Structure 1
Amino acid sequence: MRGFIPPDYLLDGILQRRFCYSFTARTGTGKTAIMLRIAAHVALGRPLGSRNVERGKVLYFAGENPDDIRMRWIAMSAEMGFDVDTVEVYFIAGTFKILVLQKSQNGARSISRQTTKQAANAYRPRPKRANEVACEFIVG
Structure 2
Amino acid sequence: MVQLSHLNAQGQANMVDVTTKQETQRTAVAEGYIYMSGDALNAVTDQHNKKGDVLATARIAGIQAAKQTSNLIPLCHPLALTKVAIDLAPDPANGRIRIEAMCKLSGKTGVEMEALTACSVAALTLFDMCKAADPAMRIEGIRVLRKEGGKTGSWSV
Q: TM-score range by the shorter chain?
A: under 0.3
With the length of structure 2 as denominator, give the TM-score of the two structures: 0.25
Structure whose alpha-carbon radius of gyration is higher: 2
With the length of structure 1 as denominator, give the TM-score of the two structures: 0.27
